[in-house]
Amino acid sequence: MSLAAVRSLRPTPQLHTAQELEDFEQELVDQYALAGVGAGLTDGYVAQERSTLFSFVRFLSRPVWTATVDDGDRFLAHLRKDRGLSHRTVHSRALTLGRFYEFLLARYQGEIHAKTGHVLDQPIDHFNRPHRAEYSGLTRVPPSDEEIEGLFGRWREALPDARKYLPATRDYLAASLWRRVGLRITESVMLDIRDWRPDLGDHGRLHVRFGKGGMGKGPKTRLVPGINDTDALLRWWLTDVRHQFDDGYGNPDAPLFPSERHDRLSGCCRRAGDDALRSGLAAAVRRWLPSWNGRLTPHVLRHYCASSLYARGMDLKAIQELLGHEWLSTTTRYIHVHDNHVEQAWTTANDRVTTRLNLHAR
């Protein structure tokens, strides 16, 4: 993470009183937060980092510049064993502490020694820093093609007889986007009618304006092509269904996925929340794929999308762009192949060689 240059121009007298030491510690945390703001991090991300740092300060019960690797060991063990935090959360907080102390070592090491007499140490090193692979959470291996086809086929057939037809079709379409083009649920919720651009490309494109940005640097936009029958689904939705919710269909800024609730001022539907869309998928899974009840989430469908497209021949770089990943290594963790993948790849490669040789022989 790059940090903006923030320097204190004050002299460095020796600190003596408890209040002076506390004020200096607060200044170090504030300078780290200010540097993050200068680097373009969002206010929410900076606040989350400050919360992690203050929790470490409370745990340490002495100035941050006195922390050692033993303190880092104890703090991470405390998060896992005493507080019961998830592997992913512990990993995230370890990285926050590591970045903070890298900041202090780079900018304030000399000043800290001059004011306190302490030599700064890095409490998060390569021995206690959690590995990303170990702390990546549960493996989200998706259902098989047959299971997914069965679920969505029965869901689609049941729509005309749904007790609440409009929210049922909305939930079905949202889940179809997760399955077919790997949208995140937060990206889906924020889509407006104008974000579907049928005039772009061969299949139309969805303008995802609120994609996940790295390191808290705000939304990352991308254009998602309407491949995998997504274009046909959106045409059906916008032609036959969306206008039945409210009169805001003609407003390009109206939500693509509306709620049943109406705004009292405008009279138009509010935006559906992620809880409503999650609940729609969960109810369908309980009914038509009970073996996956409680396990098939929107994010697992995102994994299914990546795996199914890869199995059909789409290269990893294209899948990376579709899913909006910054790093190709992230995309590879979304690809789940069958046990006979190596044999199939070998057969396909030999078939290509045989074809080339036959063409050359002619």
Q: Which residues are catalytic?
A: 184, 217, 299, 302, 325, 334
Question: Is residue 114 within 8 Å of 70, Cβ to Cβ?
Answer: no
**Distance between CA atoms of 56 and 18, rounded to whole angstroms?**
19
**Distance between CA atoms of 184 and 306, rounded to whole angstroms?**
12
**Distance between CA atoms of 2 and 295, rounded to whole angstroms?**
38
**Distance between CA atoms of 278 and 184, rounded to whole angstroms?**
11
Exposure of 291 in the CB half-sphere (CA atoms within 13 A): 7
Question: Is residue 285 within 8 Å of 161, Cβ to Cβ?
Answer: no
| Start-to-end CA span in the chain (Å) | 57
Exposure of 23 in the CB half-sphere (CA atoms within 13 A): 7
- For the sheet with 196-197, list strands across it: 196-197, 205-211, 220-225
Question: Is residue 203 within 8 Å of 225, Cβ to Cβ?
Answer: yes
Q: Residue 148 belongs to what H/E stretch? A: helix 145-158
Task: Single out the residue of 217, 238, 202, 211 nearest to residue 324, CA to CA.
Answer: 211
- 333 residue type, one letter: R
- 213 residue type, one letter: G
**Distance between CA atoms of 86 and 88, rounded to whole angstroms?**
5
**Tokens representing residue 136 in the block:** 């990546």
